[in-house]
Every structure is written in C-alpha cells, then in structure tokens.
C-alpha cells in the first residue's frame, strides 16, 4: 500500500508550473483564470493495486484566490460569493477511483466537495503523468450556485458569470503514511 503526501503545495507568492489548483470561469464576453495559492492534503491513502480503496482529502484556503485582479479577488471573498470570513476553507474528498476502460493511466473518481455550508458530489477525471514520483493531473466541472457561490447566471447580462466553473489540478504525491492527525508543518518539511 502506498500512502501519499503532497511534496510541494504551491507557495503563496507565485503561480507554480507544477502543483496547482486552478480554475476557469466565464461570462458571456469574458474569461477569468485563477488559482488557489494555499492548499494542502490533510489525509490520503493510495493503493496502486486497488485504486477503488484509495482516497485523498484536500483543504483549500479560499482567501488565497488569485485571478490577477485584486479588486475582483476581494469581491469573491465577500458574503455573496465565498464568504471567506465565515467559511475560510473548502474541502474535497476524492474516492471511488476507477480506471477508464481502454484509457491506460486515466481514471474517474467521485469527488465530494464542501464549499461554504454546502456539500455536493461530482465526477472528476484525472490521468497519471508519472509513477515515481506519482504525479496526477485532472479536471472537474462544478455548478458554483449549487454551493451558494454567487448569484445564478443572468443570461440577459453578458457580464454575468456562468454557473459552471472548470477546476484543473496537478498534484505530486510521495510515499509515506499521511493520517489526518499529522501536523501540517511536519508534512511541509519532507
């Protein structure tokens, strides 16, 4: 059995080329690319021989959102969007991993998201980029309004953000046990 820990969570001051949690949001006429700079794996267990028994829990600091426009970022932290003061963390639990038939190295997984005070389940897809170290890259799409993030798309307004948001991630994992009780500072120094 292989347990995992995040080798290098993105530093708070740059857009990393390797590990990241990024998103794309669109309106009728614009596209916003963004990244969450601070996130960590709080619990993980990966069984390479039986991916169905594997899981990963990621915690995201929503205040680390960065779309390249500080005014927009500040607005996204307000109560009508992420309400970061009240709900500072978002969580994702990845489980029920299944290989995609006919696509070696590609997988589907159940992703339980907790954003604000809402929980929902979506399907995500990812691919294994390398075995040693284990690097995975994937994406999922969520309806932000299902999690109470912002008002629904006002189709009459071309500036209104669409409900669907694409999330893209790339994570490097290392061997070792990562229980939920391990202090974050211990993981970061490995």
List the CATH number of the domain containing 111.
2.40.128.110
Tell me the mean pLDDT in the region 142-146.
95
- Average of pLDDT values for 124-145? 90
Please name the residue that has the structure tokens 């953000």. Answer: 161
Quote the CA–CA distance of 117 and 180 in Å, as a whole number.
21
What is the pLDDT, as a whole number, of residue 106? 93
Instruction: Confirm whether pTM is higher than 0.85.
Output: no
Element containing residue 184 per DSSP (H, E): helix 184-188
CA triple 38-39-43, angle to 5 deg: 160
Is 155 within a domain?
no
Work out the mean pLDDT of the chain and round it to a whole number. 82
**Tokens representing residue 163 in the block:** 């409900």
Whether residue 110 lies inside any domain: the answer is yes
Question: How long is the chain?
Answer: 190
Number of domains in the chain: 1
* pLDDT surpassing 70 at residue 70: yes
The larger pLDDT score, comparing residue 17 to residue 113, is at 113
The whole domain housing 130 covers 4-10+18-150+161-184
Does residue 118 lie within any of the structural domains?
A: yes
Give a yes or no: residue 138 inside a domain.
Answer: yes
- Looking at residue 48, what is its pLDDT? 61
pLDDT band per the 50, 70, 90 thresholds, residue 6: very low
Residue 10 vs residue 99, higher pLDDT: 99
Comparing C-alpha atoms, which of 149, 167, 164 is closest to residue 77? 149
């Amino acid at each position: 059995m292989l347990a995992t820990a995040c080798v290098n969570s993105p530093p708070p001051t740059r857009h990393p080329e390797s590990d990241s949690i990024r998103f794309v949001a669109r309106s009728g006429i614009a596209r916003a690319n963004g990244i969450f700079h601070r996130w960590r794996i709080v619990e993980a267990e990966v069984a390479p021989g039986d991916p169905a028994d594997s899981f990963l829990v990621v915690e995201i600091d929503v205040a680390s959102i960065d779309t390249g426009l500080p005014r927009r970022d500040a607005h996204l932290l307000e109560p009508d969007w992420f309400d970061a003061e009240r709900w500072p963390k978002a969580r994702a639990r990845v489980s029920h991993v299944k290989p995609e038939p006919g696509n070696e190295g590609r997988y589907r997984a159940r992703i339980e998201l907790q954003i604000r005070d809402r929980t929902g389940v979506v399907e995500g897809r990812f691919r294994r980029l390398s075995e040693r170290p284990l690097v995975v890259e994937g994406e999922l799409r969520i309806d932000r309004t299902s999690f109470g993030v912002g008002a629904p798309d006002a189709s009459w307004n071309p500036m209104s953000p669409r409900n669907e948001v694409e999330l893209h991630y790339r994570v490097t994992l290392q061997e070792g046990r990562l229980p939920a009780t391990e202090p974050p500072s211990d993981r970061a120094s490995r």
